[in-house]
């Protein structure tokens, strides 16, 4: 797939950084990004169906390959959660599994050939299409805000309303500096989802952008640059695979750590 | 009176310097951090090999944490290099 858009590399990149959107009402507030939503929902539903089917067909005898793989996955995530959090993991375990596998699969859309999905969607009539949901700030912020809400919920649950309020107003410097304590605690609370989502978004966005730049080398029209492009695509693809897994792992572990920290008494 | 070309050239030059600093300094910091951490990990693993699995998962967690700020600055640097919003404002104002 070569560069199709006229106007060279930066036109090509700008074309690929636009979402397939639909507007509701006036203004730009109700702009729905159909590609981000669609891809993430399709991946989520397919993933749930797959895991459900594996769990449904599970036997205590000799496991099939699929069952063995899912068991490995569940045990890995469960082990990570139990390392960090010693308590009731009935919600945290499935939450961590969902985050890990979902983010991993959404990130994996990044190593799909860059132009294939936009091209196929273009045949179906979509002008712009971005295939990687996590290289979009909305997705990562939605996920990290969910983690923030759970953090607050578990703080209330573990300490009670009065205990949590007492902690918020008195913890770092004692009751005489209550407004300052509140400010510090709010900053601490809000910086968590911010860094969580920016980390994932930045990694995936940079990965996508680098793939586009390398794709620009492929279309540059000289044999040497083409060879360099193929090599670069391969090298960056392998490195990106590592980044994808690490970022999904980090998102999961940090979410669990934040929720576990919320339940500790100071 | 500066011409439009001069203004655009100025913006492009400063943006190139800025993007280069973002990518270069970010990479410098991340590499130093990763090197220190990697050497400590190898040292620790050499002293107590039975702790290797625990340390390894912690190390990969930290690899991602160290990598993240660099990659964010890389993304923003590349974004400025290839679709410069500051430049687009000038181009829009010229029309």
A134-144 residue pLDDT tens: 888 889 999 99
Which residues in chain A are closer than 8 Å to B57, comparing Cβ atoms?
A: 80
φ, ψ (nearest 5 deg) of residue A30: -90, 50
Return mean pLDDT, chain A.
84
A195-205 residue pLDDT tens: 889 889 888 88
**What pLDDT was estimated at residue B16?**
92
Domain that holds residue A246: 19-262
The reply to whether A3 falls in a domain is no
A221 vs A35, residue with greater confidence: A35
The reply to whether A10 falls in a domain is no
Give CA separation, A231 vs A102, A189, A218, A234, in Å: 30, 43, 10, 5
CB contact under 8 A, A250 and B64: yes
**What pLDDT was estimated at residue B62?**
87
The reply to whether A201 falls in a domain is yes
Catalytic-residue membership of A199: yes
Interface of B with A in 51-80 (CB under 8 A): 57, 60-61, 63-65, 67-68, 71-72, 74-76, 78-79
Measuring CA to CA, which residue among A19, A86, A213 is closest to residue B77?
A213
pTM of the model: 0.83
Classified as helix, coil or strand, A88 is coil
Whether the complex's predicted ipTM surpasses the cut of 0.85 = no
Which residues in chain B are closer than 8 Å to A249, comparing Cβ atoms?
A: 60-61, 64
**What pLDDT was estimated at residue A2?**
43
**What pLDDT was estimated at residue A99?**
92
The reply to whether A8 falls in a domain is no
- Residue in chain A closest to B63 (alpha carbons) equals A246
The reply to whether A95 falls in a domain is yes
Above 70 in pLDDT, residue A1?
no
Q: How far is B73 from chain A (nearest CA, A)?
A: 8
Residues A240/A104, Cβ–Cβ less than 8 Å: no
The reply to whether A133 falls in a domain is yes
Looking at the 3D structure of chain A, how many domains does it have?
A: 1
Q: What is the CATH number of the domain that holds B19?
A: 1.20.20.10
Run of H or E residues at A32 = strand A31-33
Above 70 in pLDDT, residue A55?
yes
Looking at the 3D structure of chain B, how many domains does it have?
A: 1
Above 80 in pLDDT, residue A171?
no
A15-30 residue pLDDT tens: 777 788 777 776 677 7
φ, ψ (nearest 5 deg) of residue A23: -100, 140
The reply to whether A14 falls in a domain is no
pLDDT band at A103 (very low <50, low <70, confident <90, very high): very high
Domain that holds residue B31: 4-94
As a whole-number percent, the residues of chain A with pLDDT over 70 amount to: 95
């Amino acid at each position: 797939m070569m560069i199709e858009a006229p106007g060279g590399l930066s036109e090509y990149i700008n074309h690929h950084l636009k979402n397939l959107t639909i507007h509701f009402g006036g203004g730009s507030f109700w702009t729905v990004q159909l590609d981000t939503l669609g891809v993430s929902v399709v991946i989520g539903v397919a993933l749930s169906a797959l895991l459900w089917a594996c769990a449904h067909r599970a036997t205590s005898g000799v496991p099939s390959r699929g069952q063995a793989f899912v068991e490995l996955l569940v045990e890995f995530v469960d082990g990570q959660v139990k390392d960090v959090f010693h308590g009731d993991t009935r919600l945290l375990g499935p939450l961590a599994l969902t985050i890990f596998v979902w983010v991993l699969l959404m990130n994996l859309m990044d190593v799909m050939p860059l132009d294939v999905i936009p091209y196929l969607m273009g045949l179906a009539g979509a002008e712009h299409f971005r295939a990687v949901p996590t290289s979009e700030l909305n997705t990562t912020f939605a996920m990290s805000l969910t983690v923030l809400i759970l953090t607050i919920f578990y703080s209330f649950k573990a300490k009670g309303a009065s205990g949590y309020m007492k902690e918020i107003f008195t913890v770092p410097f004692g009751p005489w500096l209550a407004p300052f304590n509140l400010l510090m605690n709010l900053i601490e609370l809000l910086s968590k989802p911010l860094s969580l989502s920016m980390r994932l978004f930045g990694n995936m966005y940079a990965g996508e952008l680098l793939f586009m730049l390398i794709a620009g080398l492929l279309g540059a029209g000289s044999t040497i640059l083409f060879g360099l492009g193929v090599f670069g695509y391969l090298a960056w693809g392998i490195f990106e695979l590592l980044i994808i897994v690490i970022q999904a792992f980090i998102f999961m572990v940090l979410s669990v750590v934040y929720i576990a920290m919320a339940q500790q008494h100071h | 009176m500066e011409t439009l070309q001069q203004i655009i050239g100025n913006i492009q030059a400063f943006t190139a310097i800025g993007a280069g600093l973002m990518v270069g300094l970010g990479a410098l910091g991340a590499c130093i951090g990763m090197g220190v951490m990697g050497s400590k990990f190898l040292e620790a693993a050499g002293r107590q090999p039975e702790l290797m699995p625990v340390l390894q998962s912690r190390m990969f967690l930290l690899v991602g944490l160290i990598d993240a700020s660099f990659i964010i600055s890389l993304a923003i640097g590349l974004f400025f290099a290839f679709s410069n919003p500051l430049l687009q404002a000038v181009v829009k104002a010229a029309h």
